[in-house]
Structures are given as C-alpha cells and as structure tokens.
Amino acid sequence: MKRESKPMQIGRVTIGGGNPIAIQSMLNTDTRDVAASLRQLQALEQAGCEIARLAVPDMEAAQALADIKKGTSLPLVADIHFDYRLALAACQSGVDKIRINPGNIGEKWKIREVANACAARGIPIRIGVNGGSVDQDLRREYGVTPYTLYRSAVRNIEALQECGFENICVSLKASNVFSTIEAYRLLAAECDYPLHLGVTEAGSRHMGTIKSAAAFGALLCDGIGDTIRVSLTDDPVLEVEAARDILKALDLHQSGVTIVSCPTCGRTCIDLIPIAQAVEARLKHVRARITVAVMGCVVNGPGEAREADLGICGGKGEGLIIRKGEILRKVPEDRLVDELLREVEALTGERV
Ligand code: SF4
C-alpha cells in the first residue's frame, strides 16, 4: 500500500499524491558557471533526471540561477545552508523549490522571511535533515540515531508551520542504511508531507548504489517515498541511471527496458556475458516500458522469453529470437544482438 502523501508541484513535476516517484540528482558543477551547469543539466535530463538541485554557496551563484533557469525546463532546486538571503535571492531567480535545513538558517524571523518569499511564489521547501546536521541538543543527549533525525525533522516542520507554511517535503538522510530506513518510517507514520528518499554520503558508484537500493527497497516496498536521489561520489548522470534501475527493479518505473538475463552456467554454449552487456548498453535510452530476456540455453530460456516482450535464447553458436513467446527465427551467434535490436525497434518505434 502506497503511503498517502500530499501532492506537491515542483515546476512541471508533481510529487506525492499518488504520482510516479520522481528521480532527482544534484549537479557538481560550479553554479556560477552557467554554461557548464546547463551542459550537465542536459546530460542529466537525457539520462532521465526529473528534478535537479544546485548548490548555492554565495550570492553570485544565487543570481546565476536566473540564467540557468532560462536555459532549461528541468525543475530546479536551490540548495541553501546558513544564509537566508541566498534563499531569498534564489527565489527571485525563479527556482522551483528551495532546500534548507531551518535549524541552520538561524533566528525565527529569517525562517519566516524565507517561508514568506516561497509562499508568495508558490515554491515548496524541502527540509533536508542529515546525520551531520541534527539539532545539537538532540545530538548531545542521544547521538545521531533514527530518533534524533526524526525529532530534528519534526522541529523543522513545526518551525515552518509556525510561519503558516505547509508546502513542505522532507528528507532524513543518514549514511547508515538501517538508521535511514527507521527515521523515514518514524516520520512517515506521523505526517502526510511528501518524502524525498536518500542515503547521504552513500559512497562510490558500486557501494553507494547498493546502499541506496537497500534503503529505498525497504522503504518503497512499505509504500514510503515520493522522490528519490541516489548520492554517489561519481558523475551525477550515474546517480540518475542508478535511481532509474532501482525503480525498475521494484517495478515502479514509468519507462525503460527491463532486462531479464540468466547468470550463465556450464550449459551455456554461446558467449552470453558480452551479449547481455551489449543489449543492456544499447537499450539504456529506450523509453518504452518493455521486458527483454537474454537467456543462455533452452532449460529456462524459452520459459523466460515467453514472459518477456522480446528475447533471445542461446544454442550452440546460434540462438533463437523470440517475440512474446513465439519463435521468430534462428540466427548465428554474431547476429543475435543486431537481430534482437531490430525487433526492439519494430516493437517500440524507437531507434536503438
Ligand atoms: S538458462 Fe541455461 S545457460 Fe542460463 S543459467 Fe539457466 S541453465 Fe544455465
């Protein structure tokens, strides 16, 4: 059962309210470098990113957002820490959402200024609580735990509510998977604000993807989560690809090819591993929501391929091309990938 959350408009994307789970990433360009930021935004959008966040370390960056905004239709989120004036300037630049941690913005009147500026423009605010930024007193008393993440989030929510501001989404990111899961569960049970899922400082491409998949898997299977960001110490485009693949693995994706491939074994008589890799690489950008099976032999091959939209089933130096369970033809091993891709083009109308 999906947790019921309030819908929230972020530029052209709506999260929460039963909408599809949106994929986010964060640029690693210098926001003041408008051309470089626009190049990365384009690459992210092409990979399937739906919402992009940019760091706003100073006033020049906040003002550069206005030019970046003119060059992209992706919804932009301004990431603000400490200085409320940067949030006000980012609002003026026309961003679609602000990410703050009210706990580090300072006095109440500063939080109110930000809330009023966002309310005047209909811009939502994400309260981004991280393991490193839980409230000092809670940290001293309990350390960084799921409870302190959750309590910090509740305090921050109340700080915005006191300003009459309710257009809120929340994240509670720890770098520990269990803490992250538990913190989100605590908050999810208590409010209906949309939740942005993330594991902070998750790590490199390999481990960061696995940690994110473990945390998101548990939460999304509970119906918790409205938008996701995989944090990787790597190219942000890889974050988007990882997020997309996690959603595919959970059958929550709206587009893209799901590949079913066998692990190979002593019965495999074709060189299946490079075949599966080539198929995955060539189909990465296909939008149609189809399943393609890449199977090594007739033990499970025809069965899996029957469930898929298209498939190949290896034999000895050759293989079968199968469409919705029907064998179309037998082709030599070196033609298998091209023949399969031809069928994908015919089925989807997309170029691969
Ligand atoms: S489908 Fe065939 S080749 Fe692949 S793992 Fe199963 S038995 Fe082995």
Q: Are 218 and 42 in contact (CB under 8 A)?
A: no
Which tokens is 333 given? 């091993």
pLDDT at 13: 98
Grade residue 302 by pLDDT with cuts at 50, 70 and 90.
confident
Q: Tokens 């384009």 label which residue?
A: 42
Is there an atom of ligand 1 within 6 Å of 14 CB?
A: no
Fold of 258-348: Sulfite Reductase Hemoprotein; domain 1 (3.30.413)
% of the chain beyond a pLDDT of 70: 100
Q: Ligand 1 center to residue 266 CA distance, Å?
A: 8
Cβ–ligand 1 contact at 169 (below 6 Å): no
Q: Is the pLDDT of residue 300 over 90?
A: no
Residue 124 pLDDT > 80, yes or no?
Answer: yes
- pLDDT tens, position by position, 219-240: 999 999 999 999 999 999 999 9
At 106, is the pLDDT very low, low, confident or very high (cuts 50, 70, 90)?
confident
Give the tokens for residue 80.
């603000």
Q: Tell me, what's the pLDDT at 102?
A: 72
* pLDDT > 90? residue 136: no
Residue spans of the domains in the chain: they are 8-249, 258-348
CA-nearest residue for atom 7, ligand 1, is 299
pLDDT at 99 (0 to 100)? 97
Say yes or no to pLDDT of 254 above 90: no
Mutate to test the pocket of ligand 1, among 273, 275, 294, 295 (most ligand atoms within 8 A of CB): 295
Residue 186 has pLDDT above 80, yes or no: yes
pLDDT tens string 3-51 = 999 999 999 999 999 999 999 999 999 999 999 999 999 999 999 999 9
| Local confidence band at 201 (pLDDT 50, 70, 90 cut-offs) | confident
Please tell me the distance from the alpha carbon of residue 210 to that of residue 215, in angstroms, as a whole number: 9
How close is the Cα of 149 to the center of ligand 1, in Å? 46
Mean pLDDT of 143-167: 94
- pLDDT at residue 304 in the model: 78
**pTM of the predicted structure, to 2 decimals:** 0.93
Counting ligand 1 atoms within 8 A of each CB, the residue from 259, 264, 273, 320 with the most, and so the one to mutate, is 264
Tens digit of pLDDT for each residue in 77-86? Answer: 999 999 999 9
Planar angle of CA 294, 300, 305, nearest 5 degrees: 45
Q: What is the mean pLDDT of residues 261-280?
A: 95
As a whole number, the mean pLDDT across the chain is: 95
> Quick one: residue 129, left, alpha or beta (phi over 0 = left, psi -120 to 50 = alpha)?
beta
Q: What is the pLDDT of residues 156-167, one digit of tens each?
A: 999 999 999 999
Residues 31, 68 contacting (CB under 8 angstroms): yes
Characterize 27-57 residue by residue with b for buried, 16 or more Cβ atoms within 10 angstroms of its Cβ, and e for exposed. bebebbebeebbebbeebbebbbbbbbbbbb
Task: Match domain 8-249 to its CATH number in 3.40.50.360, 3.20.20.80, 2.40.30.10, 3.20.20.20.
Answer: 3.20.20.20
Can you tell me the mean pLDDT for 167-171? 98
- What pLDDT does residue 95 have? 98
